A and B are shown apart, each in its own frame.
Chain A
Amino acid sequence: MSVNQQAHTGLPYGQPQPGYQGYQQSGYGGQQMPAVHHSQYGAYNGPMPGYQQPAPPPGYFPSLGFPSKGSPVCLNSDTPILAPNFIGALRAPPPSGAPPPTSGAPVPAGQPVYSQFGQGDVQNGIGASAVQMQRPSASQPFIPGTAPTPVSQPATFQQYGPPPTSAQQLTNHMAGMQIGTSSSAPPPAGLGYGSSTSVPSASGSFTATGSGHYTPYSSSQGPPPVNVSHGLPPTSLSPNLSLGQPAFSGPPMSAQHPPQASGFVSPPCSTGIGPSSYPSTTGAPRPSTMQGSPLPGHALTGLPTSQPNHVSSPPPHPAMSGPPPGPPVLGLQGPPPPTHPSPSGYQMQQNGSFGQVRGPQPNYGGSYPGTPNYGSQPAPPPPPKRLDPDSIPSPIQVIEDDRNNRGSEPFITGVRGQVPPLVTTNFLVKDQGNASPRYIRCTSYNIPCTSDMAKQSQVPLAAVIKPLATLPTDETPPYLVDHGEPGPIRCNRCKAYMCPFMQFIEGGRRFQCCFCSCVTEVPPHYFQHLDHTGRRVDFYDRPELSLGSYEFLATASYCKNNKFPNPPAFIFMIDVSYNAVKSGLVRLICEELKSLLDYLPREGSIEESAIRVGFVTYNKVLHFYNVKSSLAQPQMMVVSDVADMFVPLLDGFLVNVNESRTVIVSLLDQIPEMFADTRETETVFAPVIQAGMEALKAAECAGKLFIFHTSLPIAEAPGKLKNRDDRKLINTDKEKTLFQPQTSFYSNLAKDCVAQGCCVDLFLFPNQYLDVATLGVVPYQTGGSIYKYAYFQLETDQERFLNDLRRDVQKEVGFDAVMRVRTSTGIRATDFFGAFYMSNTTDVELAGLDCDKTITVEFKHDDKLSEDSGALLQCALLYTSCAGQRRLRIHNLSLNCCTQLADLYRNCETDTLINYLAKFAYRGVLNNPVKTVRDTLINQCAQILACYRKNCASPSSAGQLILPECMKLLPVYLNCVLKSDVLQPGADVTTDDRAYIRQLVSSMDVAETNVFFYPRLLPLSKVDIDSDTLPAAIRNSEERLSKGDLYLLENGLNIFVWVGVNVQQSLIQNLFGVSSFSSISSTLSTLPVLENSFSKRVRSIIDMFQSQRSRYMKLIIVKQEDKLEMLFKHFLVEDKSMSGGASYVDFLCHMHKEIRQLLS
Chain B
Amino acid sequence: MATYLEFIQQNEERDGVRFSWNVWPSSRLEATRMVVPLACLLTPLKERLDLPPVQYEPVLCSRPTCKAVLNPLCQVDYRAKLWACNFCFQRNQFPPAYAGISEVNQPAELMPQFSTIEYIVQRGSPTPLIFLYVVDTCLEEEDLQALKESLQMSLSLLPPDALVGLITFGRMVQVHELSCEGISKSYVFRGTKDLTAKQIQQLNSRVRGYAGSYEARPLQTQEQPLISSRFLQPVHKIDMNLTDLLGELQRDPWPVTQGKRPLRSTGVALSIAVGLLEGTFPNTGARVMLFTGGPPTQGPGMVVGDELKTPIRSWHDIEKDNARFMKKATKHYEVLANRTAANGHCIDIYACALDQTGLLEMKCCANLTGGHMVMGDSFNTSLFKQTFQRVFSKDFNGQFRMAFGATLEVKTSRELKISGAIGPCVSLNAKGPCVSESELGIGGTCQWKICSLDPSSTLAIYFEVVNQHNAPIPQGGRGAVQFVSQYQHSSTQRRIRVTTIARNWADAQSQLQHIEAAFDQEAAAVLMARLGVYRAESEEGPDVLRWLDRQLIRLCQKFGQYNKDDPNSFRLSDSFSLYPQFMFHLRRSPFLQVFNNSPDESSYYRHHFARQDLTQSLIMIQPILYSYSFSGPPEPVLLDSSSILADRILLMDTFFQIVIYLGETIAQWQKAGYQDMPEYENFRHLLQAPLDDAQEILQTRFPMPRYINTEHGSSQARFLLSKVNPSQTHNNLYAWGQESGSPILTDDVSLQVFMDHLKKLAVSSAS
Contact = CB atoms under 8 A, between A and B. Distances in A.
Interface of A: 620-621, 623-624, 628, 630-641, 644, 646, 648-652, 666-667, 670, 673-674, 677-680, 698
Given A640-B187, A666-B183, A674-B183, 20 more contacts: A631-B248, A633-B182, A633-B184, A636-B184, A636-B186, A637-B185, A638-B185, A638-B187, A638-B188, A640-B203, A640-B206, A644-B190, A646-B190, A649-B188, A650-B253, A651-B253, A652-B250, A677-B212, A680-B209, A680-B210
A374 B186 CA distance: 86
B185 A636 contact: yes
Contact of B188 (A634, A644, A648): A648
18 contacts: A628-B250, A633-B182, A635-B183, A635-B248, A638-B177, A638-B186, A639-B188, A640-B206, A641-B189, A641-B195, A648-B188, A649-B188, A649-B253, A650-B253, A652-B250, A666-B183, A670-B183, A677-B212
A644 B206 CA distance: 18
Contact of B210 (A628, A630, A651, A678): A678
Q: Which of B172, B177, B210, B212 is the most central at the interface, judged by chain A CB atoms within 10 Å of its CB?
A: B210
Contacts of B255: 650
A621 B195 CA distance: 16
B174 A637 contact: yes
Nearest to A673: B182
Contacts of B209: 679-680
Nearest to B188: A648
Interface residues of B, number: 25
B186 A646 contact: no
Nearest to B174: A637
B563 to A, nearest CB: 75
A624 B188 contact: yes
- What is the predominant secondary structure among interface residues of chain B facing chain A? mixed
B193 interface: yes
Nearest to A678: B210
A635 B174 CA distance: 11
B470 to A, nearest CB: 68
A623 B186 CA distance: 9
A649 B182 CA distance: 20
Contacts of A670: 182-183
A651 B137 CA distance: 13
B254 interface: yes
Contacts of B185: 623, 635-638
Given A648-B172, A652-B250, A621 B186 contact: no
Contacts of B210: 678, 680
A679 B208 CA distance: 11
B552 to A, nearest CB: 56
Interface string B224-250: 000000000000000000001000101
A677 B180 CA distance: 14
B248 A637 contact: no
Interface in B158-199: 172, 174, 177, 182-190, 193, 195
B447 to A, nearest CB: 38
B264 to A, nearest CB: 15
Given A621-B206, A633-B184, A646-B190, A651 B250 contact: yes
Nearest to A680: B210
Contact of A635 (B172, B186, B189, B212): B186
A648 B186 CA distance: 10
Contacts of A628: 250
B182 to A, nearest CB: 6
A811 B253 CA distance: 32
Q: What are the 3 tightest A-B residue pairs by CB atom distance, in nearest-first order?
A: A651-B253, A648-B188, A636-B185
A646 B183 contact: no
Contacts of B174: 637, 648
A612 to B, nearest CB: 14
Contacts of A649: 172, 188, 253
Contacts of A630: 248
A636 B183 contact: yes
Contact of B190 (A631, A641, A651, A666): A641
B250 A650 contact: no
A637 B190 contact: no
A650 B254 contact: yes
A355 B206 CA distance: 77
A626 B248 CA distance: 11
A1026 B209 CA distance: 62
Interface string B555-573: 0000000000000000000
B744 to A, nearest CB: 52
Contacts of A636: 183-186
Nearest to B213: A677
A667 B183 contact: yes
A621 B205 CA distance: 13
A203 B250 CA distance: 88
B203 A646 contact: no
B296 to A, nearest CB: 18
Contacts of B188: 624, 637-639, 648-649
Interface in B535-590: none
Nearest to A639: B188
Contacts of A644: 190, 193
A677 B250 CA distance: 30
Interface in B275-326: none
Contacts of A621: 206
Contacts of A648: 172, 174, 188
Contacts of B253: 649-652
B415 to A, nearest CB: 58
Given A621-B206, A649-B172, A678-B210, A635 B190 contact: no
Contacts of B177: 638
B359 to A, nearest CB: 28
Count chain A CB atoms within 10 A of each CB in B183, B184, B195 and give the residue with the most. B183
Nearest to A635: B184
Contacts of A652: 250, 253
Contacts of A679: 209, 212
Nearest to B248: A631
B593 to A, nearest CB: 44
A631 B189 CA distance: 22
A652 B185 CA distance: 14
A33 to B, nearest CB: 58
Contacts of A680: 209-210
Contacts of A667: 183
Contacts of A641: 189-190, 193, 195
Contacts of A650: 253-255
Contacts of B206: 620-621, 640
A667 B184 CA distance: 11
A632 B174 CA distance: 19
A652 B254 CA distance: 11
Nearest to A634: B183
B248 A646 contact: no
Nearest to A622: B188
Contacts of B172: 646, 648-649
A679 B244 CA distance: 30
Nearest to A677: B212
A634 B248 CA distance: 10
A651 B172 CA distance: 13
Contacts of A674: 183
A632 B190 contact: no
A696 to B, nearest CB: 15
A649 B248 CA distance: 14
A631 B203 CA distance: 27
Interface in B419-441: none
A554 to B, nearest CB: 25
A641 B253 CA distance: 20
Contacts of A651: 250, 253
Contacts of B244: 632-633
B178 to A, nearest CB: 12
A628 B182 CA distance: 15
- A649, A650, A651, A679 — which one has the most chain B CB atoms within 10 A of its CB? A649
Contacts of A631: 248
B643 to A, nearest CB: 56
